[in-house]
Copies of this chain bind each other. A is one copy, B any other.
Amino acid sequence: MEKMLQIKGHIIRDDILKRIDASCVQYNGTYRVLELIVGKAVDDLSSAKIAIEISEEGFNLILNELTNLGVTIPTTEVHAKLKPSEKDKTVPDDFYSTTNHPTEIFLEGKWIKAQNQRMDAVLVVKNDEVFCTKLRDVKKGDLIVCGSEGVRILQEKNGSDEHEFAFMINDVSSERRVELVVKKLAEEMKAIKANNGKIVVVAGPVVIHTGGMDAFQDMIRKGYISGLLSGNALAVHDIERDLFGTSLGVDLDTGKVVKGGHKNHMRAINAVNKSGSISQAVQDGTIKSGIMYELVNHQVPFVLAGSIRDDGPLPDTIMDLIKAQEAYADMVKDAEMVIMLSTMLHSIGTGNMLPSWVKTVCVDINPAVVAKLVDRGSAQAKGVVTDVGLFLTLLNQQL
Contact = CB atoms under 8 A, between A and B. Distances in A.
A365 B18 contact: no
B61 A135 contact: no
Interface in A28-68: 30-33, 36-38, 40, 42, 61, 64-65
Interface in A345-359: 345-346, 348-349, 352
Contact of A36 (B23, B33, B377): B33
Interface residues of A, number: 102
5 contacts: A65-B260, A169-B255, A169-B256, A178-B210, A365-B385
Given A97-B263, A308-B321, 10 more contacts: A87-B273, A97-B266, A167-B254, A174-B206, A174-B210, A174-B387, A307-B321, A319-B322, A386-B387, A387-B390
A64 B259 CA distance: 10
A392 to B, nearest CB: 10
A55 to B, nearest CB: 13
A189 interface: no
Total copies of the chain:
4
Given A12-B21, A319-B320, A365-B174, A135 B390 contact: no
Interface stretch (A190-198, A293-301, A309-317): A309-317
Interface stretch (A88-96, A154-162, A220-228): A88-96
A128 B361 CA distance: 56
Interface in A185-237: 206, 209-211, 231
Contacts of A348: 309
Given A65-B260, A273-B89, A12 B23 contact: no
Interface of A: 12-13, 15, 17-18, 21-26, 30-33, 36-38, 40, 42, 61, 64-65, 87, 89-91, 93, 95, 97, 120, 122, 135-136, 167-169, 174-181, 206, 209-211, 231, 252-256, 258-260, 262-263, 265-267, 269-270, 273-274, 305-313, 315, 319-322, 324-325, 328, 345-346, 348-349, 352, 365-368, 377, 385-387, 389-391, 393-394
Given A64-B260, A308-B307, A255 B180 contact: yes
A237 to B, nearest CB: 11
Nearest to A320: B320
Best-surrounded residue of A36, A206, A252, A367 (most CB of chain B within 10 A): A36
Contact of A386 (B168, B320, B390): B390
A65 B259 contact: yes
Given A15-B15, A61-B259, A311-B120, A209 B176 contact: yes
Contacts of A385: 365, 387
Given A120-B266, A266-B97, A270-B90, A393 B393 contact: no
A145 to B, nearest CB: 13
Best-surrounded residue of A24, A91, A346, A389 (most CB of chain B within 10 A): A389
A252 B31 CA distance: 28
Contacts of A90: 270, 273-274
A40 B2 CA distance: 13
A163 to B, nearest CB: 12
A206 B349 CA distance: 18
